Chains A and B, each alone.
Chain A
Amino acid sequence: EAGVAQSPRYKIIEKRQSVAFWCNPISGHATLYWYQQILGQGPKLLIQFQNNGVVDDSQLPKDRFSAERLKGVDSTLKIQPAKLEDSAVYLCASSPGTREAFFGQGTRLTVV
């Protein structure tokens, strides 16, 4: 069974530029999560999707972050414009509806 796929693995951008991350969850998993992990901290949930609907986006900085999961499968997280403090690892995870999620390898973003 293929795992959660994320791309790119690494990205370096200048502040005020935009960036997008892509996630393809495990086939059949209805729930998809995006987490932000700042260096030295635990992952923090940004947004949770159930199929193509948003369940929780209470910690998503909506003035600059957006996410979509249009067909209920893969998802894109976008930052526009990026700030220095957005430098982090962005983790995508998916769940089949059981109380366990499976994580991708993450995308490391550096904003300079």
Chain B
Amino acid sequence: KQEVTQIPAALSVPEGENLVLNCSFTDSAIYNLQWFRQDPGKGLTSLLLIQSSQREQTSGRLNASLDKSSGRSTLYIAASQPGDSATYLCAVWGGTYKYIFGTGTRLKVLA
């Protein structure tokens, strides 16, 4: 059974810092891994999707890497801003055509 874990559960940093969010999964037989952002009480906004054959994806100040063999992914946020404050979720897409989500990292960037 696939399990997805995110560390840390919460993070508070001053504006301008570079930071790393971690995601680990127990079953390496995945098709892709996706990072989402969720603002309080809202739906999910897709940030980056990494196919199983890829090692990383980049979008603006965001970079996500994937190491299937070790069951790990990291989301790197450069030069953090108060507007980055949100919950970040990772999800893996397995062989049964559905997402399994982690519990999220709640990020607060202080001005």
Query: At the interface, yes or no: B20 with Cβ under 8 Å from chain A?
Result: no
Complex Cα distance A105/B93, Å? Answer: 20
Contact status A108-B49, CB under 8 Å = no
Task: Please list 20 pairs of residues, one from A and one from B, whose beta carbons are closer than 8 Å in the complex, sorted by A's number.
Answer: A40-B103, A42-B101, A42-B104, A43-B89, A43-B99, A44-B101, A45-B99, A48-B97, A56-B96, A56-B98, A93-B99, A99-B93, A100-B34, A100-B49, A100-B93, A103-B44, A104-B43, A105-B42, A105-B43, A106-B41
What bracket does the count of chain A residues touching chain B fall in? 20 to 34
CB-CB contacts of A21-43 with B at 8 A, as 1s and 0s?
A: 00000000001010100001111
Chain A residues contacting B93 (CB-CB under 8 Å) are 99-100
Query: At the interface, yes or no: A12 with Cβ under 8 Å from chain B?
Result: no
Which residues of A are at the interface with B, using a C-beta cutoff of 8 A?
6, 31, 33, 35, 40-45, 48, 55-56, 89, 91, 93, 95, 99-106, 108
Contact status B103-A41, CB under 8 Å = yes
Which residues of B are at the interface with A, using a C-beta cutoff of 8 A?
4, 6, 31-32, 34, 36, 41-44, 46, 49, 89, 91, 93, 96-104
Q: Which residue of the partner chain A has the closest CB to B96?
A: A56
Contact status A33-B98, CB under 8 Å = yes
Q: Which residue of the partner chain A has the closest CB to B31?
A: A99
**Known interface pairs A42-B4, A108-B41. Does A55 touch B103 (Cβ–Cβ under 8 Å)?**
no
Quote the shortest CB–CB distance from A59 to chain B (angstroms). 10
Contact status B101-A48, CB under 8 Å = no
Contact status A101-B99, CB under 8 Å = yes
Quote the shortest CB–CB distance from A2 to chain B (angstroms). 14
Complex Cα distance A45/B100, Å? Answer: 8
Chain A residues contacting B102 (CB-CB under 8 Å) are 42
A100-B32, A100-B34 are known; give 9 further A-B pairs, CB within 8 A: A33-B98, A35-B101, A42-B104, A43-B44, A43-B101, A45-B99, A56-B98, A103-B44, A106-B42
